[in-house]
Structures are given as structure tokens and as C-alpha cells.
Structure 1
Amino acid sequence: MPVNINPIFPLSYNLADGRKKYVLFCGAGVSKDAGSPTGWDILLETLKLVRTQEESENKEYTDNEMETYYEENFKDFTYSEIIESLFPSMEEQREFLEKLFENKAPGKAHKLIAEWVKAGLIRFIITTNFDSSIEHSLDNAGLRGKYSVITDGKQVLTSKPWNHVENCRVYKVHGTIEQGEIKNTKKDLEKLDRDLEKDFLDIIERHGVIVLGYAGNNDDKAVMDCFNGRRFKGYTLYWTVHDNRIDDNVQELVERQDGRFIDIQSASDFLEEVLNRVEIARRGTEQTSEAVAQVRFKNLITSSSDIEIRQTIDEERRKLEKYFGNILDEVDGKNYESLWDGYLATFNYSLNLLSLFDQIIKYQNKYWENISPIFEEIHSLNKNRSKYGKDGLVNYYFFTLLEIVGGILLENKAFELLRSLLDIKRLNYRKDGMEPVLDWDMQAQFIEVKNEEEVKEK
């Protein structure tokens, strides 16, 4: 019986050796954080044009209104059938798509794909996406001229064989909106060009495959035929899924090929986590979540832009505050064990944020101003300024946060930042003066009860 471990662990170790044994297959989900439209988005935009003509009224429709319109009028039609009905020719489809993708800058996931290439993890990227965000990210990462792009069978025949590619090649199996044919209708999606299909199948048979942001529905027949025709299982098929949404045909495919599903929150989160775990594997360090967070934030602080660093800090603060708020909603304020469990859950969740704080204090302490608001944000969750129940949980976690961050500052001899921490003030309860941080409520009645119960048990 196989050991039940996170499938990202073996994937990271297999990528770490630099032999480029895996190929990355990207669907529309990879472009989501860049604001690029998915197939569903394109479908709704197409139906807006249809509805505007039917109702002879040019108005703005919400997504919910359009989803209802689709369910009532077009649910028995596929995406490709609807697109083809309004834009019969390929050139008309291209013009429509160009407008939808216009001025879309590469997103975080695209940039991380380029980082995968720079780190020597992959040499082949296969995508169903029409846009050029992956190519732009490769260019921005200093890889211009070091990769090639294949969009049809003619280019396959006039390019070096795939097994002679050393650095990187991008296969756009549905074409590109910039030139040549695009595959967007049901008829188009039934079959790939013979030479393009041969390269595609050869590559996925001789490599492991990481499928990212791709639903794998049966409408995309030619691509799914290639996946189903993949026979060699020397390297694993990893299929990422979001919210456990798996089509039956994908479930059957992955099981038949002894593949693995990986649950992800987003394409960029997955790409970043794997990149960080590969670095840990290459260093021979244990792949704990704390180690991954430390690598991630060290890379962020030492190599990212000022705006990206500040945005990441603010985002991590918001995530912690939201998580703690959910914990406060869930715990039983009258049960000390429930409150203690809530404290432990929040503390464990905040380890990533504390790793970020540690890296900032070590390498870029100018971002302290983005850290310091966390203390008032957390303590403001104590609505009654008391030590009882959930208010006590807030106080105790706040005390822990203050103590740990203070310890990090002392360890790094960041005395000026420590002074600024102790100088944090807020309006007092009576609203007639300012209250220094060390005078904020830190008592927790549930801790007193917990200690008393533990003494009784002894």
C-alpha cells in the first residue's frame, strides 16, 4: 500500500535533478490571475452580443444575468458552437478574441513559468491558450532568442526535431491570435495537424506531464485523444485540480495511467510552491512548510520589485486577519478547550507570516512600515476590550505575536525597529488619549482556566 504523502514532494524531487523529465501543459486557468478571459468568460461575452441584438438594447449585463440567460436559452449548446454561430469565419473569430485579450499583461503564473524555465525545470511548455503571455514572460525574464514557438504542423517540419531542443520550446496546439490558424470551433478541436500531433504525443509519452489550469473536457477532442493515447508510464502524469472539480473522463484517464491529482488554490500558488520546494530539494533540506515559506519569502525579499514586496506583505496580513476572524466565528467562547484549539490553529497558520517578517527584518527592514499595522489589526478583533471568551483568545494571540516579533528584532539586533514597535500607540478605550502597545489588553481568562484544569489533573 503506497504511503499517503503530498504529491508535490515527489514531483519537486524529480524536477530538482535538472534533467527536464517533465513537460508543463497549460490551459486557460493559468491566465486567470492576469485577467485574461477563460473559455467561460469568452462564452459570456459572445452571448452578451447575441442578447444585445435580440433585445435591441445596448446595456451592461452582470455575469449572473448572463449565466441565467445562458441556462435559459443556450445550455444545450457548446462553447465552440455558440462562438461559431456568431463568428463563422476564422478571421472574424480572431478579431473578436484580439479585442478580449487586448492590453492584458502577463500575470504572476506566466512569470513563474518563465522562472521554471530559467531554473532548468522544464524545456517544453504545451498550451491551448491563444494569447502570448507566456512568450512575453519568457522575454521579460531574459530568455528572448533562447526559446522557439510552434503553432502548426508546417513549423514542426521547418524546425529542429523536438529531441534536439536544449533550452525551451512552446507548443501552442490551438494556435495563436497573432497569426495562422486558431482552433476554436467544435470542428477545429476534433483533430490536430498530423505533424503537430506527432510531436505532442511523442513529447508527452517520453516525459512526465504536469497539467495546470486545464479542465480536460471532451469538447477538446484532439488534445484529449493525445492524452488518452499516451502509453509510456515511465514518468508520472500530475493533474492539478481546483475545488475538487474533476470530469469523469479525466478521473478515468489519470487512474488508468497511474497518475496523481494535486489539489491547488491557484496556478501561481502551485508554480511558486513547486519552485521553492525544488530549491529545498537541491539544498538537501527537509521539505517542511516552514522551510518552503522561508525560501519563498527570501526569494521575494531579495529579488522582487518594491511594489510586489509591499503587495505580498499586505496580502499576507489580510489573509491572517481573515483566517483569525473565521476561527473566532467557529470557536465556542465558553469552552477553554475550543478556545485553545482555535489559538493553536491560528498560531500554526501564522508561521508563514512570521517567516516573512523574519526575512524582512534580516534583508529589507525598510518594509517594517508594512508589518507594524498587523498588531492593531489583530487586537481590534477584541470587540469588548475584555479578557473573557473570544476576547481572551484575541488577547493571547496578540501577546504571542508581539513576543515573537520582538524576539526576532532582538535576535537580529534591530534595535531601532524594536523601539518603533514599542512606540506603537492607538486611541484608548475612553477615547481621551493614546495608549502604548504594552498597555493593550493581553490577559486571557481561558488560559487561566486551562492552567487550573491541568493542575487538577496532576
Structure 2
Amino acid sequence: MIDPINSLAFSMHANKGVYAILVGSGISRAARIPTGWEVTIELVRKAAAIQKADCEPDPAAWYRGFAGREPDYSVLLDAVAKTPAERQQLLRPYFEPTEAEREEGAKQPTKAHRAIARLVKMGYVRVVITTNFDRLLEVALQDEGIQPTVLSTSDQIAGAMPLVHTACTVIKVHGDYLDTRILNTPEELAKYPKAFNTLLDRVFDEFGPVPVAAAR
């Protein structure tokens, strides 16, 4: 019996550009990038500090009792940082490396990010769908000389070129970390905006989805 991985590799080699890669949080977690929920919990801690309250050992439970709702990334971000510049400065440390982290190899593209970028460069992949907020994949692609089309909002989808006319399209279905409209809570993730649903339907109709596991 043919190993499924070997079968997929043979198919991708024989059919350039007909597969879309699916990337989840594991690929960036390996680079020490926090998940969206982890960032939200850190924002809860900052909100609790503003209130001079102790939110431990369960920040999410404290916030539910304090605010009467589930922790919401956008609401919390607005509460602890009022201007776009403040928000950007607040979020950068979660997703961008310090000099020390850079020397350690943290918050840098992993082997998996770079392998995907090479597949794109060789023409085997045109579309990458990711739930991650960070820009490690974009960095890996740019290091290979590829400037991807990045779609992280409905507005960007509306003005985007057809997928077949781009060298690479990165679809960030949960948003980008520098945009406060990222999707994070269960309610927000229950249903994607119509523009994303339509785009994803087209991708899954036209391309074979290939999930990628975490790798360092």
C-alpha cells in the first residue's frame, strides 16, 4: 500500500498549483508566537491591573464576572489602548521578536514556514489559508523573493485579483494582528463573514486542501 504522504507528494509534483495549504496555530506556536486566545488572556490581565484587581488563577472567569461577557479581543484592546498607535505598540511584543528572541530564533519563520515558501516559489502552491494572526509566513515568502497577496478583511477580498493571476495568495481567515477586527471569541468564530465564506467555497472547489502540522 502506498504511504499517504508519498501519494500526496507524487500528486503535488505531477499537478503544480492545484493544491491549497491549510496552516493552523501549531506552525507559529512552534516559533513561540502566542495564540489569539493567549493574547486575549494577557489583555484580560492588563485590564485587571487597570482595575487594581487580581484576576488569577482564571483570568477568563474573572472577566466574565467583571464584564458579564466572554473575553473579547477587540473590546479588551480598546479598553487598555485607546489609539491605533498605542494598540500597535501593545501588540508588537506578542508577535515581533526582541533582539534577544531573534538571537534565540524565536518569533522567526520555522522550517515549516520556509518549506511552504519554497513550494510556492517552485510553483507547487498558489494559495495558503491560515488561521494565524502573525506575519511569519509572509516573511518566509518575501525571503524567497515572493510578495504575496494577503487577504485578511472582507474589503481586501472585494478588491483582490483572481487567485489564478497571483503568484501566491495568503488568506488570513481570522485576521491580522495589527487589525483590531481579528476573529477570536467563539461567537466571532461561529460564522465567517460572507466574503470569506464565498472565497473559501471557491478555493475548496478549485484546489485540493493540504493541512500542515507544526514543525520547527
Into which bin does the TM-score normalised by the smaller protein fall? 0.7 to 0.9
- Other-structure match for 1:211: 211
* Matching residue of 2:171: 171
Could you say which residue in structure 1 is the equivalent of 2:94?
100
Percent of paired sites with the same residue: 29
User: 8 Å contact 1:33–1:109 — kept in the other structure?
Assistant: no
Partner of residue 25, structure 2:
28
Among candidates 114, 117, 123, match of residue 114 of structure 1: 117
SS at match of 1:176: coil
Q: Secondary structure at the match of 1:82?
A: coil
Q: How does 1:132-281 map to 2 (within 5 A)?
A: 132-144=135-147, 147-162=148-163, 164-179=164-179, 181-213=181-213, 266-268=214-216
Which deviations, in whole Å up to 9, do the C-alpha atoms of 1:222-255 show, x marking residues without a partner? xxxxxxxxxxxxxxxxxxxxxxxxxxxxxxxxxx
Distance 1:102 1:166, change over 3 A: closer
Distance in 1 between the 2:173 and 2:135 partners? 13
TM-score, with normalisation over the residues of structure 1? 0.37
| Higher RCO (C-alpha 8 Å, min separation 6) | 2
Whether the 8 Å CA contact 2:37–2:184 is kept in 1: the answer is: no
Looking at structure 1, the residues matched to 130 and 44 of structure 2 have their Cα atoms a distance apart, in angstroms, of 25
In the alignment, the residues of structure 1 paired with residue 15 and residue 42 of structure 2 have an alpha-carbon distance, to the nearest angstrom, of 42
Which blocks of at least 5 consecutive residues in structure 1 are unaligned? 57-65, 214-265, 269-458
Q: Retained in 1: the 8 A contact 2:36–2:133? A: no
Displacement, 1:51? Answer: 6.3
Matched with 2:100 is none
Instruction: Name the CA shift for 1:159/1:44 in 2 (closer, same or farther; >3 Å).
Output: closer
Q: What is the alpha-carbon root mean square deviation over aligned residues?
A: 3.4
1:196, distance to aligned residue in structure 2 (A): 2.5
Partner of 1:8: 5
Q: CA deviation at 1:88?
A: 6.2
Larger Rg: 1
- Distance of 1:175 and 1:55 partners within structure 2: 31
* 1:40 Cα offset (Å): 5.3
Q: Distance in 2 between matches of 1:160 and 1:129?
A: 22
The answer to whether the 8 A contact 2:146-2:167 is kept is no
Task: Classify 1:179/1:28 alpha carbon distance in 2 versus 1 (closer, same or farther; 3 Å).
Answer: same
Question: Does residue 1:70 correspond to 2:66, yes or no?
Answer: no
For 1:193 and 1:91, the matched residues in 2 are separated by: 27
CA-CA distance at 1:106 after TM superposition: 2.4
SS in 1 for 2:30: helix
2:104 match: none
Query: Matches of 2:152 and 2:36 in 1, distance apart?
Result: 19
Say which SS state the counterpart of residue 53 (structure 2) adopts.
helix
TM-score by length of 2: 0.74
CA distance in 2 between counterparts of 1:92 and 1:200 reads: 33
8 Å CA contact 1:33, 1:107 repeated in 2: yes
Letter of the 2:42 partner, please give it: E
For the structure 1 residues 49 and 72, does the alpha-carbon distance in structure 2 shift closer, same or farther, using more than 3 Å as the test?
closer
Q: For residues 27 and 173 of structure 1, what CA distance do their matches in structure 2 show?
A: 11
CA 1:73–1:55 in structure 2 vs 1: closer, same or farther (change >3 Å)? Answer: same
Letter of the aligned partner of 1:102 in structure 2? E
CA distance in 2, matches of 1:180, 1:87: 10
Q: Is the 8 A contact 2:48 2:54 kept in 1?
A: yes
**Structure 2 equivalent of residue 124 of structure 1:** 127
Matched residue type, 2:126: R
Judging changes above 3 Å, is the alpha-carbon distance between structure 1 residues 201 and 72 closer, same or farther for their aligned structure 2 residues?
closer
Task: Please list the CA deviations of residues 118-170 of structure 1 after superposition, one character each: whole Å capped at 9, or x if unmatched.
Answer: 122210001111111111111111113xx3111222222222222x3352111
d(CA) in 2 for partners of 1:179 and 1:88? 11
More helix by share: 1
Specify the code of the residue in structure 2 equivalent to 1:186: P
In the other structure, the counterpart of 1:55 is 54
**Aligned-partner residue type, residue 154 of structure 1:** D
Q: Distance in 2 between matches of 1:36 and 1:191?
A: 25
Could you tell me how far 1:36 is from its partner in structure 2?
A: 0.9
Deviation string, structure 1 residues 78-119 (Cα, Å, up to 9, x no partner): xx9224497064995954443311323323322222112112
* Amino acid in structure 2 at the alignment position of 1:141: E
CA distances 1:260-302 after superposition (whole Å, capped 9, x unpaired): xxxxxx434xxxxxxxxxxxxxxxxxxxxxxxxxxxxxxxxxx
Counterparts in 2 of 1:43 and 1:84: CA distance versus 1, 3 Å = closer
